[in-house]
Amino acid sequence: MSIHTPSSKGELRQKKSNKNEFVQLTRSPIYIVLDNLKSAYNVGSMFRLSDALLVSKMYLCGKTILPPNYKIKTTSRGTERWVPWEHRKSTIETVQELKEAGVYILCAEICSNSIDYKKIKPSFPVCLILGREYDGISPEVLDLADCIVSLPIFGMTNSLNVATTASVLLYELHQMTS
Ligand SMILES: C[S@@+](CC[C@H](N)C(=O)[O-])C[C@H]1O[C@@H](n2cnc3c(N)ncnc32)[C@H](O)[C@@H]1O
């Protein structure tokens, strides 16, 4: 195959481990908390991303749209079958529990005290928290953060899509673990 030829669907699938091998793989020391996400497409994108990076677990909190859901499946490509996940009623209690277990709490949000993503120095395991599309992470949850991280915006909008934010930050965190 030429290096310029994109892999076909079949070729991509052939490289994958079988189910038994896959469940034995060591997952990344990264957790994700979704704080009341209302877009099923965004939730699906998070599943696909979490599968790609072998995230340890996703916590879908509060009113976050849950599987099974057709719109989630559209963007997840069915990866909700492979990523450990759980619905929790309370974001704040979930984050408190993770914090008490020694997990570093990293909130993605643009705040006056946010740190640029290139400057963060989290310890692991880490939990990345992402906020609702319109109003962001709740202030009570932000208060629990060990660090608030932001991606710079140079254009006219004030924020990025939440799944886009997660992509950049998760690849950054993943690189720190390897
Ligand atoms: C669209 S934003 C929420 C709206 C935002 N608070 C506003 O005033 O426009 C949804 C979520 O995406 C994440 N997010 C979006 N852009 C971000 C950025 N530049 N830096 C860090 N997180 C960001 C945050 O987790 C945020 O809670």
Q: Which residue, by CA, sits nearest to atom 1 of ligand 1?
A: 133
Structural domains in the chain, sorted by start: 21-177 (3.40.1280.10)
Local confidence band at 19 (pLDDT 50, 70, 90 cut-offs)? confident
Residue 94 tokens, joined: 């979930």
Q: How far apart are CA 34 and CA 42, in angstroms?
A: 10
Tokens of 122: 């989290």
pLDDT (mean) for 148-175: 97
Which pLDDT tens digit goes with each residue over 26-53?
A: 999 999 999 999 999 999 999 999 999 9
Cβ distance 108 to 150 under 8 Å?
yes
| Structure confidence at residue 20 (pLDDT) | 86
- The minimum-distance atom of ligand 1 relative to the CA of 130 is 25
Helices assigned H by DSSP within 25-161 = 40-52, 70-76, 91-100, 139-142
For residue 35, the ligand 1 atom closest to its alpha carbon is 27
For residue 159, the ligand 1 atom closest to its alpha carbon is: 16
Burial string for 42-81 (b: 16+ CB within 10 Å, else e) reads: bbbbbbbbbbebebbbbbbbbebbebeeeebbebbeebbe
How many angstroms is it from 58 CA to the middle of ligand 1? Answer: 18
Burial 96-120 (b: 16+ CB within 10 A, else e): eebeeeebbbbbbbbeeebeebeeb
What pLDDT was estimated at residue 65?
98
Q: Rounded distance, CA 87 to CA 61, Å?
A: 6
**pTM score above 0.85:** yes
119-160: per-residue pLDDT in tens? 999 999 999 999 999 999 999 999 999 999 999 999 999 999
Q: What is the pLDDT of residues 76-98, one digit of tens each?
A: 999 999 999 999 999 999 999 99
What's the first-to-final CA gap in the chain, in angstroms? 29
Q: Distance between CA 101 and CA 123 in Å, rounded?
A: 13
CB within 6 Å of ligand 1 — which residues? 108-110, 130-131, 133, 136-137, 150-151, 153, 158-160, 162, 165
What's the CA gap between 129 and 105, in Å, rounded? 8
